[in-house]
Amino acid sequence: MNKIKIFIIIACVFIVCGCVAWQLVPSNYQWNNAGFSAVLPQGWMKFQSPAALLFLTKDGELLQSISFFREKIGKELPISKKKFTKEMLSQELAETLINELSLGQNKHNFKVIENIPVKLGNYDAFRLTYSFNTADNLKLKTVVYGFIKKKFIHFIQYEAAEQHYFDKDISTFDKFIQGFQILR
Amino acid sequence: MRKYILILFLEAIFLSGCAGVPIRKNTYFDNYFSSPREVAIMPIDFKAYKLTAGGLREEMDEWEMQTKNLLLNLVKQKLESFLNIKVSIIESNVAPELKRFLNEQNGLYRAVAQSIITHTYAPVATFPQKLKYFDYTLGSEINQINSLSTADSLLFLSGSRTYWTGGKIAVSALSMIAAAAVGISVVPVGIPDWLAVSLVDTKTGDIIWFKYYGQPNASVGDLREPDVVAATVDSLLKDLSAQK
Amino acid sequence: MYNRIPATLKITLLLITCLFTTSCETLNIQAIGKQQKFNIEDDEKRLWKRSDEFEEILNNSGFVFSDSELQVYLTGLINNILPLEVKAIGCSVKAYVLNDPSFNAFMLPNGVMYIHTGLLVSLENEAQLVTVLGHELDHFVSRHSLKFFRNLKNTSAFYATLSAAAIAAPYANLAGLLIQYSFLSSVTGYSKEMEAEADRGGFDAIIKNNYDIQQSVRAFEVMEMQIKEEKIKEPYFFSTHPKIKERIRNFKELSASFKDKATYLGKEIKADLYNNKIKDIILENAFLDIKKNHFKSANRAIERFLKLEPQNPEGYYMQGELFRCRGEKGDPDKALESYLRSLEKDNNYALAHKALGLFYYKMKKPDLAKKEFQNYLLLAPQAEDRGYILKYLQELNL
């Protein structure tokens, strides 16, 4: 098919889907998906992402985001080629993730700030906080919770520009986590 | 996820050419220059490229320097002609610690500017709350710049311009002619040219005024030419002249 | 309309179009030092500027190994092997070490060389290193990046014109041409001719500095063996198998055709000096190899380190970590043995206590686990993973 025609189709699909790709979260909005639920922060924008179960931002995805995504256990990680396994302690899960992130050439000055065990519902999880900067000198800080449920390792992540934005919305993320439920 | 977001941003650049008035401002812009203010011009972040017949894009330092010098002089002149505005310039040649600080501020500014363009200009990705309450900011950490400047606000100017070589134009024309001969219409898809200018309050870090100027495929003009730059600067800064 | 034009005329029109629309840049570029004064070309100035920017980004990325002694050694070495005619015009070069376990080294057009720790640790002595450095240096001296860049422009312009003029052919996909030149050259290498020229440069560096010429072949044989062992598929130039085979072939030919072989007395290898210089990066690189599941390379490096520093507890601890991560049959016992040996060397080595604690915890030996965890926290009260250890201790106390 003619490449220009493909481009135009994609642009049209984007224009059409774009109208529904971003949705404003109203107050007390209860989100439910894949056996999880949470109250989403009012006034944030929700994106229909194929790459994540949930993706939210308030000011723009480069400035701050809350996302929830998962990877199949036993799948080889792209850089380290290591795998998450069901038998791993949450410390080992965290170390495997740190391993993978630290090898990423797009994460400059990668630094682990905190790595602690936590409970999410009845599940053993880890909470990892790290910082890095992009090649464009944007300093980012990330908090990620990780836990295994059934055949997946799940991640709930808050990432924001370290200057101003991280501190501004961390309490929103903490509230989100407190309300996060693992249903089945 | 980031690749997906980059596609979104490029689409925003592409589609925002269709958008109307390019100005964004926060609640206190209208009275900002009702009293005298000093505006410091940040080092201009402008890239100029040459696009060859083969589609190779080469960054052209000489053209960049030419445009940056023109922009700096004309912006300074224009601002000085406005009431209540005193102008200074932030030099890029500073001590390593300050250079690191400026790089970080620029890094954050670029992310904020991209967010403004994507989510307040592009129809497909507009955030209605951000359009209604334009409250983008770099945060008050920016006031550490007072070791370099005592200005009340900083003017950020950034952009990109790609110049097609004669060969590229010829190849493109050839494609169009050849395709037309067999009944296909070809739209030459280029890399969007754009310019953005903003005022950032040094105390709060708030983006008090932002203007984005750019269209896909159409040129923002030859910014190596003084009269084109002069006209561009007039257009970019005219809102500030309304401040009396 | 197009179908009514005779075929011969179509071809003629095509050729005329190509001639008029492609402006070819000259590839006839003299090496640095061949003229009395080095005249940098306009497009070359831009390549140098991009290199300067790339250097700044990379040096601030956290990936550059901050061992100034090693950097001084490598910078001194490459300036030593720089051809005299290049030094005569006041040209000098710099070297940095990148914390990366892949076999790679690349030279930017502005005279800055980056050498991966993976490459340094895979080589056995200074003679082998000089071969590789000499090869990379020649790319700079012969201005291959400028030739490469101009050739890219010429070829892409030609094919684009051809595509535009020939309706039947689809428009060439030129996305790949927008990759940064410096990275492109380190990933795919330059043309065969340029690589052969660089091999000549590497061989000359060996000869002029009295190194053992056999080491020039050995350098690449060592790398080939490791690439095969680890089944490495990384795209870096020195990591790709066909490129290494080509290097080995070229250096064997250069060695065989070396006309002064009978009278050549150069025998320098400098293995001990080299080991001393790279000692501090061996374990660091082994750790990166473990992170990437390159267990054979990691094992070789750790064994090399333990030969140099047999009393160092860190070496045994790293060995234990290798066995733990590799997880093959018998590895848990080997890991245990290594951790215990680490503590034999130094009972205050905190990480070995932690590793033992985790080992016993998973083996369901609570008393032993508790003892090791407590030792760990005593020795490293501010440990980053303190939270996990306290949790295990809480569980073990129940």
Q: Of A146, A95, A73, nearest to C325 (Cα)?
A: A95
Return all residues near C314 (Cβ < 8 A) that are at least 6 apart: C283, C342, C349
Q: Does residue A10 contact residue A21 with C-beta atoms inside 8 Å?
A: no
| pLDDT value for C175 | 29
Task: Mutation target for A interface from C61, C65, C351: give the one with most A CBs within 10 A.
Answer: C61
3-state secondary structure of C297: helix
What whole-number distance in Å separates Cα of residue B10 and Cα of residue B5? 9
Q: Does residue B136 contact residue A62 with C-beta atoms inside 8 Å?
A: no
Give the whole-number percent of chain A exceeding pLDDT 70. 89
Average pLDDT, chain A: 90
Look at residue C357 and tell me whether its pLDDT is greater than 90: yes
Count CB pairs under 8 A between chains A and C: 45
List the single range of A138-142, C109-113, C321-325 with lowest mean pLDDT: C109-113
Handedness of CA C248, C249, C255, C258 (dihedral sign): negative
User: Which CATH number characterizes residue A92's domain?
Assistant: 3.40.1000.10
Neighbours of C321 (CB within 10 A): 21
Look at residue C2 and tell me whether its pLDDT is greater than 60: no
Return all residues near C251 (Cβ < 8 A) that are at least 6 apart: C131, C199, C202, C203, C216, C217, C219, C220
Higher pLDDT, B208 or B194: B208
Q: Widest CA span of chain C, in angstroms? A: 93
Instruction: Provide mean pLDDT across the span C334-359.
Output: 98
Residues C301 and C212 in one domain: no
What whole-number distance in Å separates Cα of residue C354 and Cα of residue B32? 60
Q: Which of C2, C22, C171 sits opposite B167 (nearest CB)?
A: C22
Look at residue C249 and tell me whether its pLDDT is greater than 70: yes
Our CA-based measurement puts residue C170 at a distance from the nearest CA of chain B, in whole angstroms, of 11
Neighbours of C362 (CB within 10 A): 14
Return all residues near C101 (Cβ < 8 A) that are at least 6 apart: C116, C117, C118, C121, C285, C288, C289, C291, C292, C294, C297
Query: CB contact, 8 Å: A129 with chain B?
Result: no
Give the count of domains, chain A.
Answer: 1
| pLDDT value for B182 | 61
Instruction: Provide mean pLDDT across the span A154-162.
Output: 98
Query: CB contact, 8 Å: A4 with chain B?
Result: yes
Look at residue A44 and tell me whether its pLDDT is greater than 90: yes
Higher pLDDT, B187 or A27: A27
Look at residue A125 and tell me whether its pLDDT is greater than 90: yes
Look at residue A3 and tell me whether its pLDDT is greater than 50: no
Amino acid letter, residue B6: L
- Interface of B to C at Cβ within 8 Å reads 52-62, 165-167, 170-172, 174-175, 178-179, 181-182
Q: Specify if C30 maps to a domain.
A: no
Structure tokens at C92: 């000098």
What whole-number distance in Å separates Cα of residue B141 and Cα of residue B128? 27
Q: Specify if C286 maps to a domain.
A: yes
| pLDDT value for B166 | 80
Q: Specify if C264 maps to a domain.
A: no
What whole-number distance in Å separates Cα of residue C369 and Cα of residue B20? 68
Look at residue C170 and tell me whether its pLDDT is greater than 70: no
Higher pLDDT, C154 or A142: A142
Q: Does residue A14 contact residue B11 with C-beta atoms inside 8 Å?
A: yes
Structural domain span for residue C317 = 280-397
Query: CB contact, 8 Å: C60 with chain A?
Result: yes
Look at residue A136 and tell me whether its pLDDT is greater than 50: yes
Q: Does residue C108 contact residue C241 with C-beta atoms inside 8 Å?
A: no
Instruction: Determine, for residues B1 and A62 on separate chains, whether the beta-carbon distance falls below 8 Å.
Output: no
Reported as a pLDDT band with limits 50, 70 and 90, residue A134 is very high
CA contacts within 13 A on the Cβ side of B100: 7
| pLDDT value for A162 | 98
| pLDDT value for C116 | 93
| pLDDT value for B78 | 95
| Through-space distance between the first and last CA atoms of chain B, rounded to whole angstroms | 46
Residue at token pair 């400026």: B102
Our CA-based measurement puts residue B92 at a distance from the nearest CA of chain A, in whole angstroms, of 16
Instruction: Determine, for residues B171 and C158 on separate chains, whether the beta-carbon distance falls below 8 Å.
Output: no
Return all residues near B169 (Cβ < 8 A) that are at least 6 apart: none
Amino acid letter, residue C21: T
Query: CB contact, 8 Å: C183 with chain A?
Result: no
Instruction: Provide mean pLDDT across the span A42-61.
Output: 92
The ipTM, to two decimals, is 0.88
What whole-number distance in Å separates Cα of residue B63 and Cα of residue B79? 24
| pLDDT value for C168 | 33
Higher pLDDT, B8 or A158: A158
Q: What phi and psi values does residue B82 have, to the nearest 5 degrees?
A: -90, 155
Residues C206 and C348 in one domain: no
Count CB pairs under 8 A between chains B and C: 78
Q: Which ranges in chain A belong to alpha helices (H)?
A: 3-21, 90-102, 165-178
Look at residue C167 and tell me whether its pLDDT is greater than 50: no
CA contacts within 13 A on the Cβ side of C52: 7
Chain C stretch 108-147, residues whose beta carbon is closer than 8 A to a beta carbon of chain A? none
Residues C369 and C321 in one domain: yes
| pLDDT value for C181 | 47
Residues C164 and C246 in one domain: yes
Best-predicted range by mean pLDDT (B207-221, C177-191, C214-228): C214-228
| pLDDT value for A55 | 96
Query: CB contact, 8 Å: B181 with chain A?
Result: no
| pLDDT value for A178 | 96
Residues C332 and C378 in one domain: yes
Q: Specify if C107 maps to a domain.
A: yes
Instruction: Determine, for residues A82 and C293 on separate chains, whether the beta-carbon distance falls below 8 Å.
Output: yes
Reported as a pLDDT band with limits 50, 70 and 90, residue A2 is very low
Reported as a pLDDT band with limits 50, 70 and 90, residue B63 is very high
| pLDDT value for C312 | 97
Our CA-based measurement puts residue A167 at a distance from the nearest CA of chain B, in whole angstroms, of 11
Higher pLDDT, A181 or A4: A181
Instruction: Determine, for residues B128 and A24 on separate chains, whether the beta-carbon distance falls below 8 Å.
Output: yes
Our CA-based measurement puts residue A114 at a distance from the nearest CA of chain C, in whole angstroms, of 7
Instruction: Determine, for residues B124 and A55 on separate chains, whether the beta-carbon distance falls below 8 Å.
Output: no
Instruction: Determine, for residues A117 and C62 on separate chains, whether the beta-carbon distance falls below 8 Å.
Output: no
Look at residue B219 and tell me whether its pLDDT is greater than 80: no
For residue C55, the chain A residue with the least C-alpha distance is A135
Instruction: Provide mean pLDDT across the span C226-246.
Output: 74
Quickly list DSSP for C154-170.
Answer: HHHHHHHHHHHH-TTSP
Name the neighbours of A, counting chains with at least 3 Cβ pairs within 8 A: B, C
Instruction: Provide mean pLDDT across the span C254-258.
Output: 92
Query: CB contact, 8 Å: C62 with chain A?
Result: yes
Reported as a pLDDT band with limits 50, 70 and 90, residue C163 is low
Residues B141-154 have pLDDT tens digits of 999 999 889 999 99
Return all residues near A26 (Cβ < 8 A) that are at least 6 apart: A42
| pLDDT value for B189 | 57
Return all residues near A1 (Cβ < 8 A) that are at least 6 apart: none
List the single range of B55-59, B69-73, C102-106, C124-128 with lowest mean pLDDT: B55-59
3-state secondary structure of C151: helix
Give the count of domains, chain B.
Answer: 1
Look at residue C51 and tell me whether its pLDDT is greater than 80: yes
Our CA-based measurement puts residue C275 at a distance from the nearest CA of chain B, in whole angstroms, of 35
Q: For chain B, what percentages of helix, strand and coil (3-state, to nearest 5) are there?
A: 45, 25, 30
Higher pLDDT, C243 or B64: B64
Structural domain span for residue A91 = 3-182
Name the neighbours of B, counting chains with at least 3 Cβ pairs within 8 A: A, C
Look at residue B17 and tell me whether its pLDDT is greater than 50: no
Instruction: Provide mean pLDDT across the span B1-23.
Output: 53
Bridge partner residues of B25 (DSSP): B209
List the single range of B12-21, B228-237, C229-238, C311-320 with lowest mean pLDDT: B12-21
Residues C240 and C285 in one domain: no
Residues C241 and C140 in one domain: yes
Instruction: Determine, for residues A139 and B107 on separate chains, whether the beta-carbon distance falls below 8 Å.
Output: yes
Instruction: Provide mean pLDDT across the span C153-174.
Output: 53
Residues C321 and C209 in one domain: no
Residues C94 and C237 in one domain: yes
Give the count of domains, chain C.
Answer: 2
Look at residue B123 and tell me whether its pLDDT is greater than 70: yes
Q: Does residue C209 contact residue C81 with C-beta atoms inside 8 Å?
A: yes
Look at residue A7 and tell me whether its pLDDT is greater than 80: no
Reported as a pLDDT band with limits 50, 70 and 90, residue A18 is very low
Q: Which of C288, C291, C388 sits opposite A91 (nearest CB)?
A: C388
What whole-number distance in Å separates Cα of residue A83 and Cα of residue B180? 54
Residues C240 and C306 in one domain: no
Look at residue A161 and tell me whether its pLDDT is greater than 90: yes
Q: Does residue C237 contact residue C188 with C-beta atoms inside 8 Å?
A: yes
Higher pLDDT, C11 or C358: C358
Average pLDDT, chain B: 84
Q: Which of A79, A112, A117 sits opposite C387 (nearest CB)?
A: A117
Q: Specify if C274 maps to a domain.
A: no
Return all residues near C282 (Cβ < 8 A) that are at least 6 apart: C121, C301, C302, C304, C305, C308
Handedness of CA A89, A90, A93, A94 (dihedral sign): negative
Neighbours of C256 (CB within 10 A): 8
H-helix or E-strand containing C281? helix C271-291
Go through chain A and tell me how many residues it has: 184
Write b or e for each residue in A45-59: b if 16 or more Cβ atoms lie within 10 A of its Cβ, otherwise e.
Answer: bbbebeebbbbbbbb
- Check: pTM over 0.95? Answer yes or no: no
Our CA-based measurement puts residue C203 at a distance from the nearest CA of chain A, in whole angstroms, of 33
Q: Widest CA span of chain A, in angstroms? A: 54
Q: Which of A15, A51, A62 sits opposite B4 (nearest CB)?
A: A51
Q: Does residue B57 contact residue B50 with C-beta atoms inside 8 Å?
A: yes
Q: Does residue C71 contact residue C97 with C-beta atoms inside 8 Å?
A: yes
| pLDDT value for C6 | 57
Instruction: Determine, for residues B52 and C49 on separate chains, whether the beta-carbon distance falls below 8 Å.
Output: no
Instruction: Provide mean pLDDT across the span B79-87.
Output: 92
Structure tokens at B186: 């070809």
Reported as a pLDDT band with limits 50, 70 and 90, residue C314 is very high
Instruction: Determine, for residues C388 and A116 on separate chains, whether the beta-carbon distance falls below 8 Å.
Output: yes
Bridge partner residues of B201 (DSSP): B153
Instruction: Determine, for residues C178 and B57 on separate chains, whether the beta-carbon distance falls below 8 Å.
Output: yes
Residues C228 and C341 in one domain: no
Q: Widest CA span of chain B, in angstroms? A: 65
Q: Which ranges in chain B belong to alpha helices (H)?
A: 2-16, 61-80, 96-120, 128-132, 166-181, 226-241
Query: CB contact, 8 Å: B111 with chain A?
Result: yes
3-state secondary structure of B51: strand
What whole-number distance in Å separates Cα of residue C287 and Cα of residue C309? 17
Q: Of A21, A55, A44, nearest to A158 (Cα)?
A: A55
Q: Does residue C162 contact residue C169 with C-beta atoms inside 8 Å?
A: yes
Structure tokens at B54: 């083969």
Q: Specify if C5 maps to a domain.
A: no
Instruction: Provide mean pLDDT across the span C183-210.
Output: 82
Structural domain span for residue B114 = 2-241
Instruction: Provide mean pLDDT across the span A76-90.
Output: 94
Q: Specify if C18 maps to a domain.
A: no
Neighbours of B146 (CB within 10 A): 11
Q: Specify if C271 maps to a domain.
A: no
Residues C298 and C251 in one domain: no
H-helix or E-strand containing B211? strand B207-215
